[in-house]
Amino acid sequence: GSVMNIADLKVEDIDFVRMADGLSKIARFNGAYSRVIGIYSVAQHSVMGARALYREKTNQVLAAYFLLHDGHEYIIGDQPRPTMKLIGHHAEHMQEGAGAMFAFAVENMKASIDVVIHRAAGFPPLAEFPNYARDVAEMDDRMLRAEGLALFGPKAAAHLPAKNLKPPELKEPVDKAWPPDVAKEKFL
């Protein structure tokens, strides 16, 4: 719906309505789950995690950072962790060290987009707040574990992070997908 130079994003390129719309249509885990009808979207993940983080920490800014933590995906899409690891594995077979370079490039790309998103939201880059960055990353792992168990069942447990962290305080079940229009509205 728009033209932008994603290698040189500007604050004015960021459109939170388009972000909400795009994230509400992107399925977590590439939609590979069978325990939910509909799309468990990146927008739903972001809203549910932000709400849980707010309940636990009562910090609106921290919750907002979580809400936006996957915002870059409305621009570049969502590639699940196993896919990224597989690409890195194949890159490593092509040239020693290429897997690590690939992982670094992907993280750098996401971070550069996130900086622009945060500025568009009126926030400093998350990297300036290491405690917030840690809390956001931890909640992302906790959400991933809760989502993986709910959407794939107990056999997924061995492949999920955060075994020793407490589950997020969710008020709604993960396996009840929100329709895209609802996910968009809640994200906004």
> Is the pLDDT reported for residue 1 higher than 90?
no
pLDDT at 160: 87
pLDDT at 126: 95
Q: Are 136 and 69 in contact (CB under 8 A)?
A: yes
CA distance 154 to 165: 16
pLDDT at 82: 85
CA distance 32 to 155: 15
Q: Of the candidates 64, 62, 72, 70, which has an alpha carbon nearest to the alpha carbon of residue 14?
A: 72
SS3 41: strand
Q: How many residues does the chain have?
A: 188
Residue range 74-120, pLDDT digits in tens: 999 998 888 888 998 899 889 899 889 988 998 999 999 999 999 99
Q: Are 28 and 40 in contact (CB under 8 A)?
A: yes
DSSP 83-104: HHHHHHHHHHHHSTTHHHHHHH
| pLDDT > 70 fraction of the chain, expressed in percent and rounded | 98
What are the residues facing 41 on neighbouring strands?
A: 27
| pLDDT > 90 fraction of the chain, expressed in percent and rounded | 73
The mean predicted confidence, pLDDT, of the chain is 93
What are the residues facing 27 on neighbouring strands?
A: 41
pLDDT confidence band for 69 (50 / 70 / 90)? very high
CA distance 87 to 126: 27
pLDDT at 144: 93
> Is the pLDDT reported for residue 162 higher than 80?
no
